[in-house]
């Protein structure tokens, strides 16, 4: 059976958007593609009139349901799969996938998981600190002569690919199991970081760079909640032995 993406399980998360008109345009694009949930992080005083002007009255319900959060960790805590979108490339920011390839993954994952599509501020985009919270990073191919995309354009392209995602050659997509929450993963990463610091494995000059490789490794594994609990239990036992040995 071919699976269409379950758009009711997909949210657009806008990190510190600067212009209310862009938020309105994103709301319109989202509704065009069957997505009705938007989360705005770090900005709760956007001009409603300007958002409505750009979204049109038909997407007013999307604006009404916007959830506002102060911190990105709070905004992402209840999601099981987070996709960051960026135009800025770099070794520490990838690996990168195309919107079309990512849309096929999302079609299966969205059956049983809450998905977040994360976009950064219009002028700077997502920084490394935000991308490290993502399970996957998407970059939209553009002309080298002019690569800049408006926030709503980028959102529309990704939402369109998800809305129309269909496996080639009649290959069926499988609905993925329910994955661990982002909050559970962040707790695990904090515990792993503490353990690796205790045993002297992390490079003290740049511990977050080393932890990024750990995050990439576990992101590929798509951990379940019970697997996260198992890993955390192992970390607790290893840390106890490391501290006990020192004493």
State the average pLDDT for the chain. Answer: 88
- Count Cβ atoms within 10 A of the Cβ of residue 49 and give its class: 0-12 exposed, 13-18 middle, 19 or more buried: exposed
Tokens of 244: 């006990």
Task: Specify the pLDDT at position 208.
Answer: 80
- Confidence grade of residue 241 (pLDDT, cut at 50, 70, 90): confident
7-170 matches 182-246 in fold: no
Integer Cα distance of 247 and 238 in angstroms: 15
Q: What is the pLDDT of residues 54-105, one digit of tens each?
A: 998 889 999 999 999 999 999 999 999 999 998 877 666 667 889 999 999 9
Q: What is the pLDDT of residues 203-238, one digit of tens each?
A: 777 778 778 888 888 888 889 999 999 999 999 898
CA-closest candidate to residue 141, choices 100, 176, 177, 189: 100
Homologous superfamily, domain 7-170: SPOUT methyltransferase, trefoil knot domain (3.40.1280.10)
Task: Specify the pLDDT at position 149.
Answer: 84
C-beta of residue 43 within 8 angstroms of C-beta of residue 19: no
Q: What is the pLDDT of residues 161-194, one digit of tens each?
A: 999 986 544 444 556 788 999 999 999 999 999 8
Residue 187: other Cβ atoms inside 10 A: 15
CATH of domain 182-246: 1.10.8.590
Query: Between 36 and 149, whose confidence is greater?
Result: 36
Domain assignments of the chain as residue spans, ordered by start: 7-170, 182-246
Tokens of 165: 């995602």
């Amino acid at each position: 059976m071919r699976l269409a993406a379950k758009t009711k399980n997909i949210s657009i998360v806008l990190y510190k958007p600067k212009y209310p008109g862009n938020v309105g345009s994103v709301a319109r694009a989202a509704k065009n593609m069957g997505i009705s949930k938007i989360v705005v992080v770090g900005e709760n005083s956007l001009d409603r009139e300007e958002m409505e002007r750009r979204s049109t009255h038909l997407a007013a319900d999307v604006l009404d349901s916007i959830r506002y959060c102060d911190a990105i960790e709070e905004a992402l805590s209840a999601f099981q799969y987070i996709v960051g979108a960026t135009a800025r490339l770099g070794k520490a920011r990838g690996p990168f996938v195309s919107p079309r390839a990512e849309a096929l993954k999302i079609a299966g994952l969205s059956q049983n998981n809450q998905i977040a599509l994360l976009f950064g501020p219009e002028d700077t985009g997502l920084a490394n600190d935000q991308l490290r919270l993502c399970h996957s990073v998407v970059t939209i191919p553009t002309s080298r002569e002019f690569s800049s995309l408006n926030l709503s354009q980028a959102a529309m392209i990704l939402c369109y690919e998800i809305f129309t995602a269909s496996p080639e050659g009649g290959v069926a997509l499988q609905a993925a199991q329910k994955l661990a929450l982002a909050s559970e993963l962040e707790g695990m990463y904090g515990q792993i970081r503490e353990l690796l610091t205790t045993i002297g494995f992390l490079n003290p000059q740049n511990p977050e760079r080393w932890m990024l490789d750990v995050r990439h490794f576990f992101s590929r594994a798509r951990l379940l909640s019970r697997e996260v609990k198992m890993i955390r239990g192992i970390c607790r036992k290893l840390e106890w032995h490391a501290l006990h040995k020192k004493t």
